[in-house]
Amino acid sequence: MLLTVSNLTVIYDRAMIINDLSISVGQGEMVGLVGANGAGKSTLLRAITGLVAWEKETLRKTAGGDVTLQGEVIFDGDRIDNKPAHEIVKRGLIHCPERRRPFREMSVLENLLAGAYPLTEKAEVRANLEKVHQLFPILRARSKQVSGTLSGGEQQMLAIGRALMFRPKLICIDEPSTGLAPIMRSEVFKKIEEIRDLGITVLLVEQEVSRVFKMASRNYVLSSGKIVAQGTGADLLRDEVVRKTYLGL
């Protein structure tokens, strides 16, 4: 497995957000992670990519609170749950956060180049930029435009494109369809499938369950920080308890 998460627990002060959770993602897979709001999906991605550890230090300094992180995360054969986020990025595990979050005052090109900050070879940066432009031609056309003036769908493509600039082994994409019109949602999902087809492993968090089940080879259903079901989309949809209790379908 490219990614293995074992017995992960995340506690913010006294609130348990992730409870003894274990998942795995194989090389080249697209794995879906679904569940209601507040189930712990985004916290799981932040824990995997080192952001919970960063939040732990920030919370201690700013609010006097604490975060407990227990368990083990193995990525590409190495344990990373004790690594800072910037080192995890360099290993090829990239987080594309919810609600896009571009550097709004910077141009589209500047945003993309920011995603390549760990790279030192200019030729590699140029090659990666060309691949992103091939995947998202609109980003080439909008290169000089200030990112904050893009549409929501264009900002989502920019966020994914920026994450791809380091040529990740695995990209964690959090709620890419949030706030997008139906046509743009379809376009974004199509691009995510193209990313998977390029051989990049994808861990996808998304509220549009039916779409995820069509795209992902396997899925995990979260509720209150626990995995309550797992399997193919077809298997999960055949389970009436899972469908009605946890998916609202």
| CATH label of the domain that carries residue 96 | 3.40.50.300
Average pLDDT over residues 116-135: 91
119-145: average pLDDT:
94
The predicted structure's pLDDT at residue 57: 63
Q: Could you tell me what percent of the chain has a pLDDT over 90?
A: 71
Show the tokens assigned to 111. Answer: 């945003």
Q: What digits encode the pLDDT tens for the residues 177-209?
A: 988 889 999 999 999 999 999 999 999 999 889
Q: Where are the beta strands (DSSP E) in 48-89?
A: 67-75, 78-79
With a cut of 70, say whether residue 59 has pLDDT above it: no
CA angle in degrees (0–180, nearest 5) for 150-162-2: 140
- Does 55 have pLDDT greater than 80? no
Task: Give the three-state DSSP class for 207.
Answer: coil
Backbone angles phi, psi at 41, to 5 degrees: -65, -50
97 pLDDT higher than 70: yes
Q: Under 8 Å CB-to-CB from 163, ≥6 apart: which residues? A: 94, 95, 96, 115, 171, 173
Lowest mean pLDDT across 57-61, 148-152, 167-171: 57-61
pLDDT at 63 over 90: no
Q: Which amino acid is at 189?
A: F
3-state secondary structure 119-178: CCCHHHHHHHHHHHHHHCHHHHHCCCCEHHHCCHHHHHHHHHHHHHCCCCCEEEEECCCC
Instruction: Using pLDDT thresholds of 50, 70 and 90, give the confidence band for residue 106.
Output: very high
pLDDT above 80 for 214 = yes
Q: Structural domain tally of the chain?
A: 1
- What does the pLDDT read at residue 101? 75
Instruction: Give this prediction's pTM.
Output: 0.92
* Alpha-carbon distance values, 207 to 69, 75, 79, 177 (Å): 26, 26, 30, 8
Model confidence at 4, pLDDT cuts 50, 70, 90, reads very high
Which tokens belong to 53?
A: 């550890």
Question: Beta strand pairing status for 3-12 and 67-75?
Answer: antiparallel
Phi, psi dihedrals of residue 132, rounded to the nearest 5° = -65, -40
Structural domain that includes position 33: 3-246
Q: How crowded is residue 238: how many other Cβ atoms within 10 Å of its Cβ?
A: 11
18-32, 41-55, 225-239 — which is least confidently predicted?
Answer: 41-55
Contact call for residues 33 and 71 (beta carbons, < 8 A): no
Pick the closest to residue 159 from 182, 141, 177, 181 (CA basis).
177
Three-state secondary-structure class, residue 37: coil
